[in-house]
Amino acid sequence: MNNEDEIKTMSSRLDNDPLYNVTSENHRLEEENSNLKRTVKFYQTELEKFRTPPYVVSEVISITADNQALVKLPNQSNFLVEISQEVTDLMPGDMVLNEQKSLIILGKVDMTKNFSVENYVVVSDKLDSSWTQIGGLTKEINKVKEVLEMPLLKPEMFREIGITPPKGVLLYGPPGTGKTMIAKALAAETNSTFIELVGSELVQKFIGEGAKLVKDLFEMARKKAPSIIFIDEIDSIASRRVELGTGGEREAQRTFMQLLGEIDGFNALDNVKIIAATNRLDTLDEAIIRPGRLERHIEVTMPDRDGRIEILEIHTKNMKTTKIDLKEIANQTENFTGAELKALTTEAGYFAIRDDRSKVSQKDFLSAIEVVVEKEEEDYQMLNHSYN
Ligand SMILES: Nc1ncnc2c1ncn2[C@@H]1O[C@H](COP(=O)(O)OP(=O)(O)OP(=O)(O)O)[C@@H](O)[C@H]1O
Ligand SMILES: [Mg+2]
């Protein structure tokens, strides 16, 4: 037997070696296991964030001999409160975080760091987005173009005709359908600064400064104009509130009022526009969606078959594939959102990489459908499990 034959026999033995296969399968499972553990950890931390109630911010007036402190809340009322063991070196004039019910002092606040609007928003001057990267939302995009893009690009037309364009729009619809993409594309297509604020972050962490942050946010937008203010999860600031019992709710209400005031305050032909997004239209306070405010409401829907084909085209454009039939994939992904279709293309790529192939095949895409469906189910179960 010559050398080459020997190597061939060896390698075919290795391929068929059950022990070798078991080892690699074992390795794969271990990897999957650690991936899953990471996912669980991620959701646990996320959940923890939701469980953390908002803190109250107050100012220390004085400290008593038995280690209590007199503090002033944003609504000007004074309270004598306990100080947590962990807080040392407290001085009159310090800003502190208080637990919402007992008002116990939990920590000091670095005012310059925490409350500057820059720490709450994401600002981008040059976004790499465009209308062409969005699939299947032609109707929605056309509305945004007419309502916001036109006035930004050709304000003189509106002045001449003598009509006032809306100051902003509300995008609503299920998660992962392209709302954030639309806001970013509008900013990019109009060369505007994109300023993103996430509503839940504003109300969740610090009570007492939300209203000021909203004020600073609009000031920043005017300075950086033309600009698009994107308020994601608007429902967390602008929900109808049944009762205004706790301090937290009253504060959130103040933030909301400030937002309404800022929207009312600026001129519709100024080149600042607002896009707000929510998954929960039903809970929104009507004040925010009245004429003169976010008066246009655009529903961003789940993609239909043609939409899914377009989205798949976009996300496979830069992939190396064999001949693929996107129609067949679209037929089998009826309840997929844009985000899930994007995930599907990534998973398909992984199948090819694992097999050490340089092109992604139709079969890879079809197998990836299963993976995405399974992942969705797992995530769903994991979330449900953690809540119970
Ligand atoms: N219509 C679409 N066309 C192309 N890609 C899409 C589309 N919709 C979603 N995607 C993909 O999914 C990702 C997430 O979409 P996006 O953040 O815009 O969803 P969203 O509607 O803002 O979701 P959420 O309500 O959870 O904030 C995008 O970055 C993109 O890759
Ligand atoms: Mg979004």
Q: Does any ligand 1 atom lie closer than 6 A to the CB of residue 314?
A: yes
- The residue whose CA has the least distance to atom 30 of ligand 1 is 339
pLDDT of 95 strictly over 60: yes
CA dist 341 and 315 (Å) reads: 8
End-to-end Cα separation, the chain, in angstroms: 66
Spatial separation of the C-alpha atoms in residues 50 and 44, rounded to whole Å: 10
Report the nearest atom of ligand 1 relative to the CA of 171: 21
The answer to whether 338 and 300 are in contact (CB under 8 A) is no
pLDDT of amino acid 74 = 77
- What is the second-level CATH architecture of the domain 117-299? 3-Layer(aba) Sandwich (3.40)
**Maximum average pLDDT range among 7-21, 100-114, 228-242:** 228-242
CA of 149 to the centre of ligand 1 (A): 20
Query: How much distance in Å is there from the Cα of 7 to the middle of ligand 1?
Result: 50
Ligand nearest to the CA of 174: 1
Burial class (CB in 10 A: 0-12, 13-18, 19+), 58: buried
Does ligand 1 have an atom closer than 6 angstroms to the CB of 74? no
Query: What residue spans in the chain does CATH classification 2.40.50.140 cover?
Result: 55-109
Mean pLDDT, residues 181-192 taken together: 96
Q: Compute the average pLDDT of residues 13-41.
A: 74
Pair of tokens at residue 204: 């969740």
> Do residues 229 and 170 make contact, with C-beta atoms less than 8 angstroms apart?
no
pLDDT of residue 51: 62
- Which residue ranges does the chain devote to CATH 1.10.8.60? 305-387
Q: Which residues pair with 108 in a beta bridge?
A: 96
Least confident among 47-56, 146-155, 168-177, 341-350? 47-56
Give Cα separations from 177 to 231, 248, 343 (angstroms).
Answer: 16, 32, 13
pLDDT at 268 over 80: no
- How far is the C-alpha of 2 from the C-alpha of 357, rounded, in Å? 30
- Give me the DSSP letters along 51-85: HSPPEEEEEEEEE-TTSEEEEE-TTS-EEEEEB-T
Beta bridge partners of 67: none
Tell me: the pLDDT tens digits for 272-303?
999 999 998 888 888 888 888 998 999 999 99
Q: Which residues pair with 121 in a beta bridge?
A: 197
Q: What is the pLDDT of residue 291?
A: 86
d(CA 80, CA 130): 55
Tell me which of 48-52, 307-311, 352-356 is least confident: 48-52
pLDDT at 208: 64
For 285, list phi and psi in degrees, rounded to 5: -70, 130
Range list for CATH 3.40.50.300 in the chain: 117-299
Per cent of the chain over pLDDT 90 is: 48
What is the residue-averaged pLDDT of the chain? 86
Residues recorded for the chain? 388
Q: For residue 34, name the pLDDT band (cuts at 50, 70, 90).
A: confident
Paired strand residues for 95: 59
Question: What pLDDT is attached to residue 365?
Answer: 97
Helix axes 362-387, 18-51, angle to 10 degrees: 50
Q: 55-109: which CATH topology?
A: OB fold (Dihydrolipoamide Acetyltransferase, E2P) (2.40.50)
Sign of CA dihedral 145, 148, 151, 152: negative
Counting beta carbons within 10 angstroms of the beta carbon of residue 121, is it exposed (0 to 12), middle (13 to 18) or buried (19 or more)? buried
Indicate the DSSP class of residue 133: G
Does residue 146 register a pLDDT over 70? yes
Name the more confident of 250 and 88.
88
Ion ligand 2: residues, Cβ under 5 Å: 179-180
Element (H, E) at 141: helix 138-144
Distance 44 CA to ligand 1 centre (A): 24
* CATH number, domain 305-387: 1.10.8.60
Sign of CA dihedral 250, 251, 252, 254: positive
Tokens 């594309």 belong to 185
Type and span of the H or E element at 379: helix 362-387
Whether residue 75 is predicted with pLDDT greater than 60 in this model: the reply is yes
Residue 133 has pLDDT above 70, yes or no: yes
342 lines ligand 1 (CB under 6 A): yes
